[in-house]
Structures are given as C-alpha cells and as structure tokens.
Chains A and B, each alone.
Chain A
C-alpha cells in the first residue's frame, strides 16, 4: 500500500528566510506526487504536481519541489517566505493502480512565519 510521511509536524521560519518541507513516499511504481496548501478555514489548493519528466517542478506562489527517486522524496522549497505562506501543507501520492484510487495524504506540516 502506498504511504506518505511528512516528518515535521510544525516548522517555524522567519519571514524572508528560505523554506524546505520534507515529504517521503512509499509506492511500488512511479508515483504521481502533489503538494497542497490549506490556509486556516479554507479548502485545499494545489501548489504543484509531478507526473513524469523534469524532476524539478515549479508551482504557484514561488514554490518548487524536487522528485528524488533514490530517496523516495518530494521536498517542497521556497527561497524566501512571506507572512501569507503561513498555512498547513500536505504532500500526497496518487496512482492508477485500479483506475480510481483516491490520493493518499501525509499528515501535514504546519508552517509558522515569524516576523
């Protein structure tokens, strides 16, 4: 069964500093990987996705993620965070195994921005 691990429950970063959120997945074949962001009281917004090809993926709001097959990782990065980036971030993996599988989500990382 596929699984996603986000090792950091909370991360605190100063505004203007760089950010890296970790995501490790377990899946037997090439995964389809996603990062979603959830602002307080809001739904999930897709930041970026990886299906195939270039392992460095660019997303919205200045985020990027790098797929590393050898490390089973898909870490999210941003060179300079803004106060508005404070939110919950979810990594997810999907597959076409039976054609209809839902996404498997990590438990999330809560990002706090210090002024």
Chain B
C-alpha cells in the first residue's frame, strides 16, 4: 500500500495563477483533510471531507476550494494564487468517525511569487 500520496511535491506559481493539488489514499478511508504548515504556526486545517461528494471548511479556508468526487481522492484548488499562500501543504486521511488517528502524506511545497 502506498498510503497517502500527494502530487506534485514542489511547485512555483506566479501571483494570480491557478493550480490543483492532488491527494490520493489507498486505505479506503472515509475522512480526508488538507492542512497548511507555516513556520512557527504548526499545521492548520484548510478543508476536510467526511465522504465522497462532501466537503467542509476548516480553520483557514479562504482562497481555497476542494472537491471529493472519488472516495480515494481529495483535490485542493487555488483559483488565484497569492504570496500569502506560500506554504507546505499536507493531506491526511482517517479511517472513519471512530478512529481518530490521521495518516499524512509527504507534503507539497508551494511557492507563490
């Protein structure tokens, strides 16, 4: 099993450009999450999903959109990138409501110039 994978690993954007980050998990987990990690801030929750076709906002959702069209994939979109979105993005999955533990992907380092 690959666990949780993220594509791409690195990306550089110009202000105003758009992009989509892909998260995939092969553990048949119900819940999936997107976090961002900034120096001195720890990880903060952007959006999450409790199942296929559902999404919800987390702590810092502004400027991002998400979609969960397939259970194994969770997409994070930036419609018009801003320098403030320069960060490392982590995806995580969780088996179900009862199981609290989350499994993390390797991260995507995004730089917005």
Contacts and interface: CB of A to CB of B under 8 A. Distances in A.
- Tell me the interface secondary structure of chain A in the complex: loop
Interface in A72-101: 90, 92, 94-96, 99-100
Interface residues of B, number: 26
A9 B40 CA distance: 8
A102 B45 CA distance: 7
Contact of B41 (A34, A49, A107): A107
Contacts of B102: 94, 102-103
B106 A102 contact: no
B90 A102 contact: no
Contacts of B33: 102
Contacts of B77: none
B32 to A, nearest CB: 10
Given A106-B42, A107-B40, A107-B41, A100 B97 contact: yes
Contacts of A105: 42-44
Interface centre among A51, A92, A102, A106, by most chain B C-beta atoms within 10 angstroms, is A102
A109 B43 CA distance: 13
B97 A49 contact: no
A103 B102 CA distance: 8
Interface of A: 4, 9, 32, 34, 36, 42-44, 46, 49, 51, 90, 92, 94-96, 99-100, 102-103, 105-108
Q: Which 10 A-B pairs have the closest CB atoms?
A: A102-B45, A105-B42, A43-B106, A99-B97, A44-B104, A107-B42, A105-B43, A32-B100, A94-B100, A100-B50
